[in-house]
Amino acid sequence: MLDQPRKMFQAVVVFWLLLDFMTKQVVVQFMDLRESIPLWEGVFHLTSVRNSGAAFSLMEGQFWVFYLAMALLALIVAWYWVSERPRHWMPVLGTALVMAGALGNTADRLATGAVVDMFDFRLINFAIFNVADVGITVGSILFVVWLVFLSEEVKWGEIFGRRKAAPNEIVPAMAGATDISVVATEKADAAEAAAIKEALPRLSLWERLELKLQKWEADIEHEEGHG
């Protein structure tokens, strides 16, 4: 577990943004448009192109798709950090790379109307991509692997809501209590807190999110009551 996950997140985002910016500037300053430099003839080239679509040249010219995709990625990362507060290196690194990639390509698009791409993997005739695209892809893979296979709290079925917690598994405070604030206030006794902690892993992802939102509302009400 990381002692300072937020600092690691910030450091990775800054580093990846700088790496993305520098590689794009090298291509813009020292290569002509459509110029291709073979690093491994027929396998991997540096090719200077401009992409007006989303990652890997998908949906070229459809600006709204690009901005919608980048906004969705940013919202997912923000939601995950607020709701889960990760401390393991995999979700921290994964979300940082995704955020850096989204910011890097968005900055390019806002500045010039297109994204600078340069990595040309010709062996399989793959789309030309850049450092930001690598961050989004690798970060997404790390995050999904963590979420599906390694996280102790979230199981595969819970992600898609396939397995709902049985009624007798849900904490009474969530199932039908009239005052959910007992979950998040000092009035909750040790036995109830233990029951809540035990029940959380068996709840679906959406049920866990609902419980967290209720806890935040109770926290706010508690603070206002003592204000």
Give catalytic status of residue 219 as yes or no. no
**22 vs 204, more confident:** 22
Whole-Å CA distances, 122 to 6, 33, 45, 118, 129? 38, 18, 7, 12, 12
Calculate the average pLDDT of the chain: 76
Contact by Cβ (8 Å): 173, 192: yes
Lowest mean pLDDT among 82-86, 133-137, 222-226: 222-226
Of the candidates 20, 108, 120, 133, the residue annotated as catalytic is 133
Of the candidates 108, 117, 120, 219, the residue annotated as catalytic is 117
pTM for the full predicted model = 0.64
Q: How far apart are CA 175 and CA 136, in angstroms?
A: 38
pLDDT at 94: 93
Give catalytic status of residue 133 as yes or no. yes
For residue 83, the surrounding DSSP H or E stretch is: helix 63-84
pLDDT at 54: 54
Q: What is the mean pLDDT of residues 140-157?
A: 72
